[in-house]
Amino acid sequence: MKTYLDCIPCFFDQALRAGRIATDDEKLLKRILDELGVMLSHISLESTPPEIGRLVYRKVREITKNPDPFRELKRESTQQALALYPSLKRTIEESHDSLLAAIRIAIAGNVIDFGPSGSFDIDTAIKEALEKDFAICDYSAFKNYLVKSERILYIGDNAGETVFDRLLIEQMKKPVVYVVRETPVINDAIAEDAIQAGLDKVATIISSGTDAPGTIPSICGREFIHLLGESEFVLAKGQGNYEGLSNENRPIFFLLKTKCRIIADDIGVTEGDIVLKGMNV
Amino acid sequence: MKTYLDCIPCFFDQALRAGRIATDDEKLLKRILDELGVMLSHISLESTPPEIGRLVYRKVREITKNPDPFRELKRESTQQALALYPSLKRTIEESHDSLLAAIRIAIAGNVIDFGPSGSFDIDTAIKEALEKDFAICDYSAFKNYLVKSERILYIGDNAGETVFDRLLIEQMKKPVVYVVRETPVINDAIAEDAIQAGLDKVATIISSGTDAPGTIPSICGREFIHLLGESEFVLAKGQGNYEGLSNENRPIFFLLKTKCRIIADDIGVTEGDIVLKGMNV
């Protein structure tokens, strides 16, 4: 997905929010916004949002000298999600379609996001994801790919959401390679977050090789690119992965809740909708 | 009021919204945001928001070569408000406290604003302003000043809102000088908008001498500054006038609905609150 003009004010909002988590020094925060303004004036909208987001969050880390402002928030999100794990597991197992229930739960976890809006309520999100109609639901195709594929490449998104992904992985009953970001960006999951969520017990964890808050193949690591090329079944969570992969010419399932109007428009749904979209399937 | 860090993303939002009213050329819109980013990096937060807003909207007019993008919207807003005039006049006259009812109606008109949010519903605003409790209501002081003053300096805000101001001016039953902006900025009223609203029948219209979307004495014209200096009773409508005048060391009554969290915090109220605040009274 290309970057829209509306993404630009949002990058300033995101930089300010992330900056405030990293520091309370107003001068440093002003400097972040100043340097961002100059930097964005040199960037084309042909870049995808996570390509630009990567530079935005690098700028925040560089100026605040805080390499991982969201570390504590990520640990808390994962702990909160782990506390919910037993009851969510029961909900899924007691459902008449456990796989679909697990998909819904995995979407609920996608609200744990400090990027585009910065506020969420996980209990409301779970309730909503279990009841709400999908705006797009390519569930039959999803099941077909699940049956015929030997392995799933599951591209994760945020820390905490990882626990919800684990519940879906446990229902898919196939070998899974779970992809995290290489180094910290916003509250996106890196390897240590996935391990805290227990994903190492149910999947092989690898890194995308980048600090972009999304998956942009041109800047990903070789191991990930190799796996992406040979994987029959790719499942990508969240907006950032959609933004980076929506122009790929290969089958991918996107699983997300739309949290901004621009991405919702790009997908052809409404902000707040839940989506299981099979692209090129 | 000084400019807060949170105002910066909002300036980009406002520039994009105003730019889109002036043009649909994406390249020009990107150029507005690019040049704004560079410009804002050189501006201190010690400036007031309307000082910066003035430069933001100048940039939009300069790049789009459209000297008054909001002209048609202003004319429509005034026409819509004029259509409401007879029934609002009746509401005020039938009220047990007609002056207070007229103050409430004048606040309702303050929602006609294409700056900070760009969307509003005037019917809902009228209903709300007539019923809602004031967060600050210095009505006794307002009446005292009204009784003892020979003339009122009434600093207007937006086109359309002008009609609602006329209703209050008619209730105040004193000579009024009504202040408009010198040249177009957002949908702020200039002389032709005030005349369309019929304000020339109930007040002397003068200009602040500036294109700032608020009243900043240091850049206002001599006629206005002279009147400001000698006026006992100054009434300023809306956020932009509050932002520009809130540090003045003289009595001023501010009449507004808070439409952004930052200004609400500065006043000490909640976003959405209605306020009649007497400063230094």
For the domain bounded by A71-279, which CATH number is listed? 3.40.50.10880
In whole angstroms, what is the distance from residue A16 CA to residue A121 CA?
22
Average pLDDT over residues A76-80: 94
Q: How far apart are CA A90 and CA A208, in angstroms?
A: 32
Structure tokens at B195: 């005349």
Query: Considering only residues 15 to 54 of chain B, which have any Cβ-Cβ distance to chain A shorter than 8 Å?
Result: 16, 26, 29-30, 33-41, 45
Distance CA A11, CA B155 (A): 36
Look at residue B177 and give its three-state secondary structure.
Answer: strand
Q: Cα–Cα distance between A265 and A193 in angstroms, integer? A: 31
* A-chain residue closest to B36, CA distance: A37
pLDDT at B87 over 70: yes
* E-only strand ranges, chain A: 136-137, 152-155, 176-180, 204-207, 233-237, 252-257, 274-279
B239 CB-near residues (< 8 Å, 6+ apart): B113, B115, B116, B157, B214, B256, B258, B259, B260, B263
Residues of A in contact with B8 (CB under 8 A): 12, 16, 33
CB contact under 8 A, B41 and A45: no
Of how many residues is chain A composed? 281
Question: pLDDT category, A122, cuts 50, 70, 90?
Answer: confident
A119 touches chain B (CB under 8 A): no
In angstroms, rounded to a whole number, what is the distance separating the alpha carbons of residues A125 and A108?
A: 5
Edge-to-edge strand ranges of the sheet holding A274-279: A136-137, A274-279, A252-257, A233-237, A152-155, A176-180, A204-207
Residue among B5, B30, B40 whose CB faces A29 most closely = B5
Can you name the residues that pair with A185 across neighbouring β-strands? none
Angstrom distance (rounded) from CA A275 to CA A238: 10
pLDDT at A136: 98
Cut 0.95: pTM above it? no
First to last CA, chain B: 18
Exposure letters A5-38 (e unless 16+ CB within 10 A, then b): bbbbbbbbbbbbbbbbbbbeeeebbbbbbbbbbe
Residue of chain B minimizing CA distance to A43? B34
**What proportion of chain B, given as a percentage, has pLDDT over 70?**
99
**How far is the C-alpha of B204 from the C-alpha of B223, rounded, in Å?**
13
Predicted pLDDT at A187: 94
Q: How many A-B residue pairs are in contact by the CB < 8 A criterion? A: 56
Q: Report the interhelical angle of B71-94 vs B98-109 (nearest 10°).
A: 160
How high is the pLDDT of residue B106?
97
Interchain contact, A38 vs B38, CB within 8 Å: yes
Q: Which CATH architecture has domain A7-64?
A: Orthogonal Bundle (1.10)
Least confident span in A28-37, B42-51, B108-117, B249-258: B108-117
Q: Nearest CA to CA, how far is A30 from chain B (Å)? A: 7
B185 exposure class (CB count in 10 Å sphere: 0-12, 13-18, 19+):
buried
Give the residue extent of every domain in chain B.
7-64, 71-279
Q: What is the pLDDT of residue B116?
A: 67
Binned at pLDDT 50, 70 and 90, residue B123 comes out as: confident
Residue tagged 């359309």 (tokens)? B160
Q: How many alpha carbons lie under 13 Å from residue B69 in its C-beta half-sphere?
A: 25
Contact yes or no for A32/A16 (Cβ under 8 A): yes
Q: How does pLDDT run across B186-241, given as a tens digit for each residue?
A: 999 999 999 999 999 999 999 999 999 999 999 999 999 999 999 999 999 999 99
Substitution target in B31, B34, B44, B119 with the highest count of A β-carbons within 10 Å is B34
Is B204 within 8 Å of B177 (Cβ atoms)? yes
ipTM: 0.89
